[in-house]
A = this chain, B = another copy of it.
């Protein structure tokens, strides 16, 4: 591709937290140009910088009302969707006809089994055919399928934090699966979106901490699917908690290693799996991952401790839910779909 030809990018849902990060990343991307920003609500035709004063002086683009015809006219190479699940389900079929690569940050195309949608998302899935076509984009596990992909289901923030460390270990067969894998995850508030509610009111969150959606979080079947384990509490327990911080997820994962597997073997598997993955950092020394090491960065950090005698392992992973858990992973995926270098425009985000 010629160096002065920039690819045309659109962000739909530009007013939310993930959308704002997408806008910021695309504006700084050396090979992309932001040609359109859309939102479903209230801010119609305001400058993006009025919606997000943080962008003052960085763009004069307006934020327009979401409209598929308008989007079609812009002849984008890539369309990022950071919109509600049902809006994405409705919009994607039409947008696919434009030929653009679509990176959908909602959950609308993440679960291969359509029967899970009524239970976990509250709607019947109308396009099970597209569920089969969509590429589930934990980038590090899907690079081949991502090349040239047109419909990419960008993973959930919690699932990314769990699949990155766990899946290589399950693939390598070093984890006992006759008891539940326990994923105790904690997330900052931006994971709940920007819509105001009592549960995101500062005075309800600050100096508080709580579990939510125990046994029923919609990320549970997504994690089970990614790990190839059954979606039931005998195999996998996922508990989400709300941290009084803006951004970041830390997952504490409890597994039983098979006899003969210790910390060194796990580190070997991770090192080998991620040797060409610049955004996965394996913590090999005593230091465990912490949220502050990854906030405002595209990295997911993974580390672990093992009780070598019993084989009990505690895995710790950390990422920024708006970046590796959303926008920067979306950019990794878009880059691969469009034939760019995976890290283009991603490195600059820290």
Contacts and interface: CB of A to CB of B under 8 A. Distances in A.
A182 interface: yes
A58 to B, nearest CB: 8
A85 B311 CA distance: 32
A141 interface: no
Contact of A196 (B56, B198, B250): B198
Contacts of A293: 53-54, 56
B182 A179 contact: no
A66 B28 CA distance: 36
Oligomer copy total: 4
A17 B203 CA distance: 9
A40 interface: no
A290 B208 contact: yes
Contacts of A290: 53, 208-210
Nearest to A28: B348
A246 B203 contact: yes
Interface string A285-302: 101111111111101010
Given A28-B348, A182-B182, A239-B314, A288 B210 contact: yes
A53 B287 contact: yes
A256 B178 CA distance: 13
A293 B248 CA distance: 19
A208 to B, nearest CB: 4
Contacts of A243: 209, 243-244
A202 interface: yes
Which one of A179, A297, A314 has the highest number of Cβ atoms from chain B below 10 Å of its Cβ? A314
Interface string A63-77: 000000000000000
Interface string A180-197: 101010101110001011
B241 A252 contact: yes
A245 B208 contact: yes
A162 interface: no
Interface string A256-276: 100000000000000000000
B209 A201 contact: no
B214 A180 contact: no
A305 interface: yes
Contacts of A179: 179
Interface in A205-221: 205-211, 214-215
A234 B312 contact: yes
A180 B312 contact: yes
A171 interface: no
15 contacts: A17-B203, A24-B350, A53-B287, A56-B299, A57-B278, A179-B179, A182-B182, A201-B202, A202-B205, A210-B250, A214-B314, A215-B314, A233-B307, A234-B310, A237-B312
